[in-house]
Amino acid sequence: MVHPIAVGHGQRLFEDTPTHPLRLVGHETFKSGVLNLAYAPERRG
């Protein structure tokens, strides 16, 4: 779930970590502005 809060400063949580290709497979937006996002690994080949 993603909460729409912007801070703009501070230490990055995932600095210097490998990336993994993902694809969005589902989403839902709540009245509060919170997003529920579902991802799956991107198919290669």
**What residues make up the domain containing 39?**
20-45
Alpha-carbon gap, residue 45 to 43, rounded angstroms: 7
Residue 37 lies in a domain: yes
Q: How many residues does the chain have?
A: 45
pLDDT bracket for residue 45 (50, 70, 90) = low
What's the pLDDT tens digit per position in 4-37?
777 777 777 778 888 889 999 999 999 998 999 9
Domain count, the chain: 1
pLDDT the model gives residue 27: 97
pTM of the model: 0.63
Residue 41 lies in a domain: yes
At 31, is the secondary structure helix, strand, or coil?
coil
Residue 9 lies in a domain: no
Residue 12 lies in a domain: no
Residue 43 lies in a domain: yes
